[in-house]
Amino acid sequence: MQVLPFYVPFLNDVFSVSPLSAGKWLSVVALASVAFWSVEIAKGVLLNRR
């Protein structure tokens, strides 16, 4: 659902967005991955301390 505003023409206008290029999507996925793995590593470290 979070991708819909980028690719549904009516929602493009409502949210004032335009479709992202493949390079931009790669950047989004890479940054989200860094955040995800940072949290997972922190959880792992905290759980191993117990």
Average pLDDT over residues 40-44: 95
pLDDT at 50 over 80: no
**CA–CA gap between residue 44 and residue 19 (Å, rounded):** 36
Among candidate residues 50, 37, 32, 21, the one with its CA nearest the CA of residue 6: 21
Q: What is the domain count for the chain?
A: 1
Q: What is the pLDDT of residue 2?
A: 85
**CA–CA gap between residue 30 and residue 13 (Å, rounded):** 27
- Domain containing 24 equals 4-48
pLDDT at 10 over 80: yes
pLDDT band at 1 (very low <50, low <70, confident <90, very high): confident
| Residue range 15-28, pLDDT digits in tens | 999 998 999 999 99
Q: If you average pLDDT over every residue of the chain, what do you get?
A: 92
CA distances from 8 to 21, 46, 47 (A): 15, 42, 42
